[in-house]
Structure 1
Amino acid sequence: MKIFTKEQIYAGDTETAKKQNISSADLMERAGIQIFNWLHVRMQGAQVPIHVFCGIGNNGGDGLVVARHLITHGYNVHTYVVNCSTKRSKDFLVNYDRIKSVTKEWPTLLNCKEDFPAIDANDIIVDAVFGIGINRPVDAWVKGLFNHFRASKAYTLSIDIPSGLHTDQIPSDLESVVSAAHTLSFQTPKLVFFLPETAGFTVQWEVLNIGLDPEYLFNTQTEAELIGKNEVLPLYKPREKFSHKGTFGHAVIIGGSYGKMGAVTLASKAALVSGAGKVTGYIPKCGYTVLQTSVPEVMVITDKHEEYLISMTIDVEPSVVGIGVGMGTEKETVSAFTTFLETIKVPVVIDADAINCLSKSKKALKALPEFSVLTPHPKELERLIGTWSDDFDKLKKTKAFSKKHNVIVVIKGANTITVFQDKLFINATGNPGLATAGTGDVLTGIITGLISQGYEPLLATLFGVYLHGRAADLIIEDFGYQSLLASDVINGISEAYLDLFTQPESQTPEEDEEETKGKQKEK
């Protein structure tokens, strides 16, 4: 799913109005009806007080449309205009006149803290104060209104984006942003829904299709995309009847050191389970018995040194190499790693201590092969690209690193983001159970195993990150977040593959609505 910028959404609105020969007010009516329908399906006429807070721009106009339809359908509605400026948008004024035609109780004008209405914890707040176009600091009294929302503990539904949240920068004052229980985002999710510093402003989000021009949506290229089942299914390579283990490549996993052989074990097994034809582990001598015993399907080559790697001389012809898991950063290891990078001719997946070796050695960094896949956790990423001021700065610096070295960088996290050149690919799967030792090693193994089978490095990365998260999602009910182990995730890979071709079970209309495409569930 494409994630459009606010400028692209504005352009889409204009193109849609032109092609469909409708006014911007008509498009606003369409969007507002979608919000109303969402509420109506869930409330079924319940007389819970609904407080609709409207700004004086287009987002406020959307709110007025919602309020009008709620009123005409007999709901207990209280409508307010947050009078934060003297400038009203044209479509706001159109809908202000329309709501006055259906009720004698005109919207209440809010000008200061003394005007704030009483809100009970069992009430519903519809937040339509600011939209994606906000370009100035929030007034102090409006910030007070948002704190009033929070203090009420009422269920808060934001229209398009939580008010006060920008689409392209981190807010300087966190209290100036509405804390939404749910956000209904028009046509596309917003990038800020996936960043650690801003994702918390909406517990859940869902995309509503407001009928923007399909041709515009299809042809417009976006910086960011959300990668879910619909996006990865076309990547899947079915197996031919007469294929054999040689068809699916030979993956080599290089790593391990005394006391850290579990990492190589996990990565090697994950590479096999994800489909590599053959897997060889290249490890220090101390790990020979460990790896041979724990994963008998994996072949083993040992380094000259007993406790860590000093040479990395591979006497096989691999299809791909995954390197770094549990490897350590001894001086001899860094030197051997640099030599390895200067001579390797096949795709490379670089993780953990191999990334730390890159950070320690400019010579190694200079030798980094193009199209390598790097999978750092946050601290490893910081060692690689330097510190960042906020999440947008982190993305900017990661893109710059990717472009400079022509490599793929996986920013691991709750919403793992794969960066290649100027593109961002945001993963839709995964849960907090993955926050445990070894799951990164499993991811390295999965990506390595996919490249071994002939997937291009970028596609293998997107597919691998998805499978990794989906495996955890499918098995989490059996383990719970706290008890999930990395080895459990490996056992879930087969389920994740099968799930690609599984249709959802028949549900009630209400359940179908809850699982609308694009919904982000709270993990």
Structure 2
Amino acid sequence: MKVFSKEQIYEGDKLTAERQQISSTDLMERAGTQIFNWMHMRMQGAQVPIHVFCGIGNNGGDGLVLARHLITHGYNVNTFIINCSDKRSKDFLINYDRIKNVTKKWPVLLSCAEEFPEINPEDIIVDAVFGIGLNRPVDEWVKKLFMHFRASKAFTLAIDIPSGLYTNKAVANEDEVVWAGFTLSFASPKLVFFLPETAKYTVQWEVLDIGLDQEFLFATETEVELIGKHEVLPNYIPREKFSHKGQFGHTLIVGGSYGKIGAVTLASRAALSAGAGLVSAYVPKCGYHALQASFPEAMVITDADEEKITSITFDTEPTVVTFGIGAGIDSKTISAFEAFLKTNKVPLVIDADGINMLAKKKTLLKLLPEATILTPHPKELERLIGTWKDDFDKLEKIKAFSKKHKLIILVKGANSITIFGDKLYVNTTGNPGLSTAGSGDVLTGIITGLISQGYHPLTATIFGVYLHGKSADIAVGDFGYQSLIASHVIDYLGEAFLDLFKQPEQPQSPQEEENQQ
């Protein structure tokens, strides 16, 4: 799913009006009607007090359309205008007149904290104060209104975006933003719904189709894409009946040190479970028996040193190499890594201590092949690119780093983001159960196993992150968040693949339910 910028949304609105020969007021009517339809389908006429708070721009106009339809359908509606400026949009004024024509209970103008209405916990708040065009901090009394919303504990529904939240920069004060239980977003979700610092402002979201021009939606390239099943499925490579292991590549996992052989074991198992034809693990001598005993499907190559990697030499011809998992940052290991990079000709995935080595010795970055994948956790990322002020600053620094070195960077988190140049791919699978030791090693192994089969490194990263999260989503049903461990993610990887081809279950009709009984 494309995630449009606010500038693109404005352009889409303009093109839609031109191509469909409708006015901006008509488009606003569509938007407000769609919100009403969403609420009406769920409320079915329930007489819960609904407080619709409207700004004086187009977001407020959407709120007025909604309030008008709620009133004409018999709902218990209170409409408020947040009188924070003398400037009113044309479409707001048109809809302000329209709502006055359908009710004697005209909208109430609010200009200060003393005028705030009483809101009970069982009421519903509709936030239509500010939209995506907000470009300045909110007034102090408006901030107090948003705090009043939150203190009421009433369910809050935001229109398009929670008011006070920007689409392209961080929030200075969390009290200046509406904390929504649900956001109905037009055309596409907003990037801020998926970033750690701003995702908290909406618990859930849904996209509403307001009939924007289809050619615009299809042809417009976006910087951000949201990744789900429909986005990864076209990239799936099926297997032929007469295929054999040699066609699916040879993965080499290089890493491990004394006490950290388990990380290599997890990554190796994950690579084979993701479909690699062969997997070899290159480890210090201390890892030989552990790997041979715990993972008999893998081949094991050992370093001359007992406890750490001091050279990387092998007779095999790997399709892809992963380096760094559990390797430590001993000077001899760094030297071995550098010597390997100078002769390597195959795709690379670098994780954990491999990233720490790059941060420690930046000249190694010049030796990485184009589209090498880095999978850092936050501290490793910080060592690599430096500190950042907020999520947006972090993304800009990662994009600059990616473009400079032509690398793929995977930013791991609740919504992991794959970054390559200016493009961001936001993942939608996964859960808090992945906050466990070894889950990152498994993810690295899955990505490596996909590259081994012929997936492009960028596709493998996007697809691998999706499968990793989907496997955890399936496994958590059996183990819960607390008891999910990294090995479970590997065990359920097959079900994640199978889920790609499952059709959603259709709701049964009353007659079908009766027949089953």
Please give the TM-score of this superposition, normalised by the length of structure 1.
Answer: 0.97
The aligned counterpart of 2:388 is 388
**Matches of residues 268-283 of structure 1 in structure 2 within 5 Å?**
268-283=268-283
SS in structure 2 opposite 1:310? coil
SS in structure 2 opposite 1:322? strand
The aligned counterpart of 1:317 is 317
Residue 81 of structure 1: how far off its partner (Å): 0.4
The aligned counterpart of 1:421 is 421
Q: Deviations over 1:455-498 (max 9, x none)?
A: 01000111000000010111111111111000000011101000
Write the letter of the residue equivalent to 2:440.
G
**Is the CA contact (8 Å cut-off) linking 1:123 and 1:155 kept in structure 2?**
yes
The aligned counterpart of 2:512 is none
Distance in 1 between the 2:161 and 2:41 partners? 21
Say yes or no: does 1:297 pair with 2:297.
yes
**Matches of residues 182-193 of structure 1 in structure 2 within 5 Å?**
182-193=182-193
**Is the CA contact (8 Å cut-off) linking 1:156 and 1:182 kept in structure 2?**
yes
**Is the CA contact (8 Å cut-off) linking 1:224 and 1:426 kept in structure 2?**
yes
Write the letter of the residue equivalent to 1:260.
K
The aligned counterpart of 2:513 is none
Which is further off, 449-458 or 338-347? 338-347
The aligned counterpart of 2:257 is 257
SS in structure 1 opposite 2:430? coil
**Is the CA contact (8 Å cut-off) linking 1:374 and 1:410 kept in structure 2?**
yes
**Is the CA contact (8 Å cut-off) linking 1:374 and 1:409 kept in structure 2?**
yes
Say yes or no: does 1:67 pair with 2:67.
yes
The aligned counterpart of 2:287 is 287
Specify every segment of 5 or more residues in structure 1 that has no aligned partner in the other structure, as ranges. Answer: 510-523
Write the letter of the residue equivalent to 2:357.
C
Write the letter of the residue equivalent to 1:71.
I
Q: Deviations over 1:101-139 (max 9, x none)?
A: 110100011010111000000000000000000111100
**Matches of residues 479-498 of structure 1 in structure 2 within 5 Å?**
479-498=479-498
Residue 380 of structure 1: how far off its partner (Å): 0.5
Write the letter of the residue equivalent to 1:211.
G
SS in structure 2 opposite 1:157? strand
Q: Deviations over 1:399-441 (max 9, x none)?
A: 0111011110000000000000110000011111101110000
The aligned counterpart of 1:112 is 112
Q: Deviations over 1:142-196 (max 9, x none)?
A: 0000000001000000000000000000011111000000000001010111111
Write the letter of the residue equivalent to 1:237.
I
Specify every segment of 5 or more residues in structure 2 that has no aligned partner in the other structure, as ranges. Answer: 510-517
Residue 31 of structure 1: how far off its partner (Å): 0.6
Residue 312 of structure 1: how far off its partner (Å): 1.0
Distance in 2 between the 1:92 and 1:341 partners? 62
Residue 363 of structure 1: how far off its partner (Å): 2.7
Write the letter of the residue equivalent to 1:487.
S
**Is the CA contact (8 Å cut-off) linking 1:338 and 1:363 kept in structure 2?**
no
Write the letter of the residue equivalent to 2:187.
Q
The aligned counterpart of 2:95 is 95
Distance in 2 between the 1:104 and 1:204 partners? 34
Which is further off, 125-134 or 365-374? 365-374
> Alignment identity in percent?
71
Distance in 1 between the 2:122 and 2:128 partners? 19
Q: Deviations over 1:340-359 (max 9, x none)?
A: 11111000010000000101
**Matches of residues 25-40 of structure 1 in structure 2 within 5 Å?**
25-40=25-40
Distance in 1 between the 2:78 and 2:346 partners? 65
The aligned counterpart of 2:500 is 500
Q: Any runs of at least 4 consecutive aligned residues in structure 1 with deviations exceeding 4 A, and if so which?
A: none
Q: Superposition RMSD on alpha carbons, in Å?
A: 0.8
Say yes or no: does 1:194 pair with 2:189.
no
Please give the TM-score of this superposition, normalised by the length of structure 2.
Answer: 0.98
The aligned counterpart of 1:346 is 346
